[in-house]
Structure 1
Amino acid sequence: MKHPLVAILATVTAVAACSSGGPRGDSNVGRLIGRVVPFMGDTASRASHSAGQLCGVAGLQGKPVAPITSATNGCGVAAPVQVTHVDGVKLSQPATLDCPTATALHRWVTEAMRPALGRASASVTELRVPAHYVCRTRNHRAGARISEHGKGRAIDISAILLANGETITVAGDWSDSKYSRALREMHTNACGIFGTTLGPGSDGMHENHFHYDTAQYRGGPYCR
């Protein structure tokens, strides 16, 4: 009979060997084509409430929610979170996303939106979000592929609200407004943060909002 300590050491060694073959945090994981790339962490990783973090990102607030399944092939989110605030900015409705997309949204707010708005960025109170997770086809077209919205990998933004009561809208301020340049700059700089960026002039379906998603393409980001 083996000594108990020997048995314990053997078990630990076996577990360690199995663990070494698990997912790695390299770029190949994020660049899989044509499938949902789930966040590989557990619930504790998705939400560190004691640190005021979601998905391990300071400034992302919300909570993890149960996995989303669907009878529709292609829809669902393996490890969703519900985002309520990004860098202190409230979302008009909690957005259900996967962690890579929530993290990209945080990057867009801090690296694209705020720099584009300059001094006005300090007074941003809310982002108007008309759509996040919803199981549907692209542009609601029958027979089309499932939208990235149906995978928790997309968010639409239609307006930015300021503390002084002003509302900067994609529909009303894109072409002729004191905020036109800022809107165009933040949209341009979303390219690369997200895999797909669509806005006014892109395809006729995004004249009143920005569509951002984290789909990955072999040829690089698709930005219009």
Structure 2
Amino acid sequence: MIRAGALILAAVFGGAALAATPDASLEPPARPEADARLEAAAAPLPGMRPLSRPQSEQRLAAASRPADLPLLAPGASLQPFARPDSLAEQVLFKRRQRRKGSVCGDIDIQGDDIGHVSGTLPGCGVKDAVRVREIAGVRLSQASLMTCNTARALKTWINREVETAFGRGNKVVSLRVAAHYACRTRNNRPGAKISEHGKGKAIDISGFTLASGETVTVLRGWQNRKTRKKLKKIWRAACGPFGTVLGPEADRYHKDHFHLDVARHRGGTYCR
């Protein structure tokens, strides 16, 4: 009897709860001003234009393709076109030619092996001499006789400072050689010691020819405000690769050129 009473009470209260359930949703209605703001944000502003889409990689590749090649198909690979075999052969041939014309075991030093050179004065002469035409892509105004140590010092000097001394857009393409091997005494003075020129260990540079065709000489350039600072930097950079570096301020014998040699001194590099 108690269980029957409980069932009756549950039915009564359950029906009351169902009757209290609202037919409509209890969410608050949207405010009119919010709808207006949404519509205003979605409306395009006066004068606005849609942004242009960036060109696809396929179109860019097709625009740069060679004229004799077909258009790229959809989904085709964008890998770079293979170089023709003829171009690779030309590069290899040129490298073989440079290797064949190199001396001192360095492809950047182009010239000829001369071998032993005898001097007409005691103390002169060069063992294993080379005649150099070009170093590190910079030509010499005349093929110059020297030792391999001298050629390597020139290469270091050119790479370190000379080539780009007047700007990377106007590189030095040639060195004006005033003197190289010559069997003589220092400054041609009677009774003086044999010059380093007489041993193939020295070279004199009197000017620098640029890609523009202009030649900056040591004589005039040292007096010019625009080039004096650059020439001094070139002169200073030679100290180290070379054992002796003489310039216009050294003495009257070097007013118009840089004297460079690979002689070694007890006190280190002699620069003046």
| CA distance, structure 2, for counterparts of residue 120 and residue 199 of structure 1 | 26
Q: Which amino acid aligns with 2:157?
A: W
Structure 2 matches for 1:143-182, cutoff 5 A? 143-182=191-230
Cα offset, 1:194, TM superposition: 0.1
Question: Is 1:135 the equivalent of 2:183?
Answer: yes
What's the offset of the Cα at 1:178? 1.7
Indicate whether 1:105 and 2:154 are aligned: yes
Instruction: State the AA in 1 paired with 2:155.
Output: H
**RMSD, aligned CA:** 1.6
Deviation at 1:163, TM superposition (A): 2.6
**Which string of whole-angstrom CA distances, capped at 9 and with x for unpartnered residues, describes residues 42-63 of structure 1?**
xxxxxx9636532122311001
Alignment match of 1:189 (pick from 218, 224, 237): 237
Distance 1:121 1:109 in 2: 14
Give the equivalent residue in structure 1 for 2:62. none
Contact 2:119 2:198 in 1 (8 A): no
- 1:115, distance to aligned residue in structure 2 (A): 4.3
Tell me how far 1:71 sits from its aligned partner.
Answer: 3.5
Asked if the contact 2:101–2:112 (Cα under 8 Å) also holds between the matched residues in 1, the reply is no
Which structure has the bigger radius of gyration? 2
TM-score of the aligned structures, taking structure 2 as reference length: 0.62
Higher normalized contact order (CA 8 Å, seq sep 6+, divided by chain length): 1
Label 1:112 to 1:207 Cα distance change in 2 as closer, same or farther (>3 A). same
Write the mapping of 1:1-224 to structure 2, written as runs, cut at 5 A: 50=99, 53-122=102-171, 124-224=172-272
Structure 1 position 177, deviation (Å): 3.6
The 2-side partners of 1:196 and 1:97 are apart by: 15
Q: 1:120 to 1:146 in 2, by over 3 A?
A: farther
Structure 1 distance, partners of 2:211, 2:167, is 15
**C-alpha contact 1:52 1:59 (8 A) present in aligned 2:** no
Equivalent-residue separation in structure 2 for 1:89 and 1:134 (angstroms) = 23
Instruction: Structure 1 unaligned segments of length 5 or more: list them.
Output: 1-47
Unpaired runs of 5+ in structure 2? 1-96
Q: How far did residue 180 of structure 1 move?
A: 1.5
Aligned residues: 176
Q: How far is the alpha carbon of 1:165 from its aligned partner?
A: 2.1
Report the Cα offset of residue 150 of structure 1. Answer: 0.0
Q: Does 211-220 or 112-121 show the bigger shift?
A: 112-121
Letter in structure 2 aligned against 1:55: C
